[in-house]
Every structure is written in structure tokens, then in C-alpha cells.
């Protein structure tokens, strides 16, 4: 089979499994995907990590992969104030949690905090002292990401 034929065969098998609602078929797909992931981790760990990042979405209401978050941060205007490393250090120093299951993962929080500072730092600085700014931005980001009515969706907000 050539690549196009293999792709067609895979999607036919996937659709058959999904439509059947047969747990045995789902387990077969799961076992094959475990074998594929074992191979990928051993042979192409960077690509395996990207797939794990995507699969991790099942844990979160608001999530971004590292790659998605970095792309968003790179496009922010005005420029995002914190690199991932700067932000993580500040979070650790402040004793703040990086993620909160099932509400948001670390990358969603990092982007949301940068978004708030990028969009509203001038306004916030009128009302919040500099030494309280990081905590205030964290609290506002958490408010968005834990939104009780569930309307805020970081993926939709950034068109993902």
C-alpha cells in the first residue's frame, strides 16, 4: 500500500471502531496506539511529547500545548511581559499553583496572565501597586480560567 491507501485504510478502521461502540474494538485501537507511542517515545521523543501534549487535553477545560502557548506569546502586542522561565520562577517564588485540575493547565495560565498584562497593564498600574501586580494578574487569570459559567475558553479566544 502507498501512503494515501494506508491513510484511507486507517480512517476506515477508525470510523468502524468509533461507530461500533464495541469496547473490544476500542481496546484494540488503544493497544495499537500504545505500541505506536512506545516506539515514538523511543525513536522520536520530541514528536511523542507534542502528541502527549495534545492528549493531555482530556484533563482540562482550558488548556494549551507548549507549542501553541509559545506561538500565542510570540504574537502578543504589546509584547508579553514574561518568558515561560521568568513566569515559572515568579510563580514558584510566590508559591502559586501552576495548574488546577480540571480547570486549566500551566500553559493556559501562562498565556492568560501574559494576555492580561499585555492588554491591561496600563489600567492595572493605576489601581494596583507594583509589588502586588503579579498576584493581581494571577488572580484575574484564575478568575477567567475557573469561570463558573464556563464561558471563557482560551482555545476559542485565540482561534484554536
Give tens-digit pLDDT for 31-77.
Answer: 999 999 999 999 999 999 988 888 888 899 999 999 999 999 999 99
Question: Are 32 and 77 members of one domain?
Answer: no
Domain that holds residue 7: 3-43
Helix (H, G, I), strand (E, B) or coil at 104: strand
Q: Which of 145, 85, 76 is nearest to 117 (CA)?
A: 76
Give the C-alpha separation, 85 to 111, whole Å: 13
Average pLDDT on 137-152 reads 92
* pLDDT for position 110: 97
Question: Are 72 and 27 members of one domain?
Answer: no
Residue 116 covered by a domain: yes
Residue 92 in this model has a pLDDT that exceeds 90: yes
- pLDDT averaged over every residue in the chain: 93
Question: Are 11 and 82 members of one domain?
Answer: no
Residue 35 covered by a domain: yes
Q: How confident is the model at residue 149 (pLDDT cuts 50, 70, 90)?
A: confident
Question: Are 73 and 25 members of one domain?
Answer: no
Q: Contact 117/80 with Cβ under 8 angstroms?
A: yes
As a whole-number percent, the residues of the chain with pLDDT over 70 amount to: 100
Residue 61 covered by a domain: no
Question: Are 122 and 89 members of one domain?
Answer: yes
> Rounded to the nearest 5 degrees, what angle is found at the Cα of 119, between the Cα atoms of 118 and 125?
85
Residue 88 covered by a domain: yes
Residue 59 covered by a domain: no
Residue 107 in this model has a pLDDT that exceeds 90: yes
Give the C-alpha separation, 113 to 116, whole Å: 5
Give the C-alpha separation, 30 to 18, whole Å: 12
* pLDDT for position 150: 80
* pLDDT for position 21: 84
Question: Are 37 and 85 members of one domain?
Answer: no
Q: Which of 110, 111, 138 is nearest to 124 (CA)?
A: 138
Question: Are 143 and 72 members of one domain?
Answer: yes
Question: Are 72 and 34 members of one domain?
Answer: no
Residue 75 covered by a domain: yes
Q: How confident is the model at residue 132 (pLDDT cuts 50, 70, 90)?
A: very high
Residue 29 covered by a domain: yes
Question: Are 36 and 87 members of one domain?
Answer: no
Residue 138 in this model has a pLDDT that exceeds 90: yes
Query: Which run of H or of E encompasses 129?
Result: none
Amino acid at each position: 500500500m502507498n501512503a494515501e491507501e494506508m491513510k484511507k485504510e486507517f480512517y476506515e478502521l477508525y470510523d468502524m471502531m468509533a461507530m461500533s461502540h464495541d469496547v473490544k474494538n476500542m481496546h484494540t485501537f488503544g493497544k495499537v496506539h500504545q505500541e505506536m507511542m512506545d516506539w515514538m517515545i523511543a525513536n522520536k521523543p520530541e514528536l511523542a511529547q507534542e502528541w502527549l501534549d495534545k492528549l493531555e487535553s482530556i484533563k482540562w477545560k482550558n488548556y494549551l500545548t507548549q507549542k501553541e502557548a509559545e506561538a500565542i506569546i510570540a504574537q502578543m502586542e504589546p509584547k508579553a511581559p514574561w518568558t515561560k522561565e521568568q513566569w515559572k520562577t515568579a510563580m514558584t517564588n510566590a508559591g502559586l499553583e501552576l495548574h488546577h485540575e480540571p480547570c486549566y493547565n500551566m500553559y493556559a495560565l501562562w498565556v492568560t496572565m501574559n494576555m492580561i498584562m499585555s492588554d491591561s497593564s496600563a489600567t492595572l498600574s493605576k489601581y494596583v501597586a507594583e509589588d502586588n501586580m503579579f498576584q493581581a494578574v494571577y488572580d484575574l487569570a484564575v478568575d477567567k480560567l475557573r469561570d463558573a459559567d464556563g464561558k471563557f475558553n482560551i482555545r476559542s479566544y485565540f482561534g484554536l
